[in-house]
Amino acid sequence: MSESKPIVIAIDGPSASGKSTNARIISAKLGCIYVDTGAMYRTLAWYALSMGIDVTDMAAVEALCRDWPSKLVRRENNVWLEVDGYFPEKEIRSSEVSKAVSYVAQAPYVREWMKEHQRSCVDFGDLVMEGRDITSNIFPETPHKFYLDASAGERQARRDADGIEEDLAARDQRDSTRKAAPLVVVEGATVINNSGESPEETSARIIALVEAQRQA
Over residues 99-112, the pLDDT tens digits come to: 999 899 999 999 99
Q: What's the pTM value of the predicted model, to 2 decimals?
A: 0.89
Residues of the chain with pLDDT under 50: 2
Residue 17 has a CB neighbour count (10 Å cut-off) of 26
pLDDT (0 to 100) of residue 56: 97
Give pLDDT, residue 1. 58
pLDDT at 3: 53
pLDDT of residue 119: 98
Domains of the chain: 8-215 (3.40.50.300)
User: What pLDDT sits at residue 182?
Assistant: 82
